[in-house]
Amino acid sequence: MKLNTLSYVIGAENTIEAGKEYFFGQLWDGNGDGEELLESETIAVYQDGEELIVDFEILEPADDILQTRVKVIGIN
């Protein structure tokens, strides 16, 4: 399954796929507590009116959480 990224500024990818690496800013829409979402390593992503759960692991933390590198483990 592929999802659209939320930020084209910090990454060149147009879609999110399981098994690939992204910046957290490509997954997070800015709503809610970003630090808490990073800690949970799970985020809800909405596409075409459907809620999908994206599980990820943190690969490289950054001072700006949007720049934190993550690897998507699964999309449900």
Tell me the per-residue pLDDT of 20-70, one tens digit each, with 9 for 90 and over. 999 998 888 888 899 999 999 999 988 888 899 999 999 999 999 999 999
Q: What distance in Å separates the CA atoms of residue 3 and residue 27, rounded to the nearest whole number? A: 9
Angstrom distance (rounded) from CA 45 to CA 17: 13
pTM, 2 dp: 0.83
Cβ-count burial of 8 within 10 angstroms (0-12 exposed, 13-18 middle, 19+ buried)? Answer: exposed
Q: How many residues does the chain have?
A: 76
Give the per-residue pLDDT at 29: 83
Distance CA 39, CA 47 (A): 23
Q: What pLDDT is attached to residue 70? A: 96
pLDDT tops 70 at residue 11: no
19 band by pLDDT with thresholds 50, 70 and 90 = very high
